[in-house]
């Protein structure tokens, strides 16, 4: 049984991807000439159509929460850059590198992957790996006085919002 797909869904299988491609083209070209706008629209229509077979399922995302998390992460990156610069430029005896594990509250692949990416993106911490069997993420911190407090901060600032963004639950696998 074939699913009836509208004309708009056939032309724009992934509208967000189309928008990102078009805006990226215009930003890379530093131009809003009619030809560049035409190219951006054309690429925004063609590229998502070409990659459609590779995108199995687009998750339902709560965009307002995603934008809020984006700015939280951006702010944390700015503050972390300043903190890491002070640590690296200061005496190395003050550095207290630590390894710790962040237990995961869900099996949702998007949540866990994005959480690992956020941890790595924030200066001073690096994700060493996601252990699906143990249900945690191994993290290395450049300097930490209280790893347990950092784990709780990661969970409250990043993991909980990600779970809400993807409407994931405990034991969720998609």
Residue 32 and residue 75 in one domain: no
Residue 11 and residue 86 in one domain: no
Residue 27 and residue 70 in one domain: no
Residue 67 and residue 48 in one domain: no
Residue 67 and residue 125 in one domain: yes
Q: In a 3-state reduction of DSSP, which class is residue 41?
A: helix
Total structural domains in the chain?
2
The per-residue DSSP string of 68-95 comes to: HHHHHHHHHHHHHHHHHHHHHHS-GGG-
Residue 88 and residue 37 in one domain: no
Q: In a 3-state reduction of DSSP, which class is residue 98?
A: strand
- How far apart are the C-alpha atoms of 18 and 78, rounded to whole Å? 29
- How far apart are the C-alpha atoms of 131 and 101, rounded to whole Å? 10
Q: What is the DSSP letter of 124?
A: T
Residue 173 included in any domain: no
Residue 106 included in any domain: yes
- How far apart are the C-alpha atoms of 109 and 123, rounded to whole Å? 23
Residue 77 and residue 139 in one domain: yes
Q: Which domain holds residue 36?
A: 7-54
Residue 169: the pLDDT is: 74
State how far the alpha carbon of 129 is from the alpha carbons of 28, 52, 102, 117, 155, in Å.
33, 29, 11, 10, 16
Residue 2 included in any domain: no
pLDDT mean by block of 10 residues, the chain; 174 residues? 68 83 91 93 91 76 92 95 92 91 92 94 89 92 94 96 87 53
Provide φ and ψ at 14, rounded to 5°: -140, 85
Residue 172 included in any domain: no
**Are the C-beta atoms of 125 and 139 separated by less than 8 Å?**
yes
At residue 20's C-alpha, the angle toward residues 3 and 125, to 5°, is 110
Q: Is 38 exposed, middle or buried (0-12, 13-18, 19+ CB in 10 A)?
A: exposed
Residue 115 included in any domain: yes
Residue 35 and residue 121 in one domain: no
Residue 12: the pLDDT is: 79
Residue 81 and residue 136 in one domain: yes
Residue 127 included in any domain: yes
Residue 45 and residue 77 in one domain: no
Q: Which of 74, 73, 90 is nearest to 143 (CA)?
A: 90
**Are the C-beta atoms of 163 and 108 separated by less than 8 Å?**
yes
Residue 170 included in any domain: no
Chain Cα centroid distance, residue 23: 19
């Amino acid at each position: 049984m074939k699913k009836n797909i509208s004309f708009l869904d056939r032309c724009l299988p992934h509208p967000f991807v189309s928008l990102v491609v078009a805006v990226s083209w215009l930003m890379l070209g530093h131009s809003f000439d009619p030809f560049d706008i035409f190219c951006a629209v054309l690429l925004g229509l063609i590229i998502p159509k070409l990659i459609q077979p590779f995108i199995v399922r687009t998750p339902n995302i709560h965009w307002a929460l995603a934008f809020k998390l984006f700015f939280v992460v951006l702010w944390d990156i700015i503050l972390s850059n300043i903190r890491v610069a002070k640590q690296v430029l200061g005496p190395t005896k003050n550095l207290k590198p630590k390894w710790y594990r962040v237990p995961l509250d869900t099996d949702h692949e998007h949540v866990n992957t994005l959480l690992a990416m956020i941890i790595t993106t924030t200066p001073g911490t690096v994700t060493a790996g996601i252990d699906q069997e143990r249900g945690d993420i191994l993290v290395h911190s450049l300097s930490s006085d209280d790893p347990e407090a950092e784990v709780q901060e990661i969970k409250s600032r990043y993991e909980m919002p990600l779970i809400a963004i993807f409407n994931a639950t405990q034991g969720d696998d998609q």
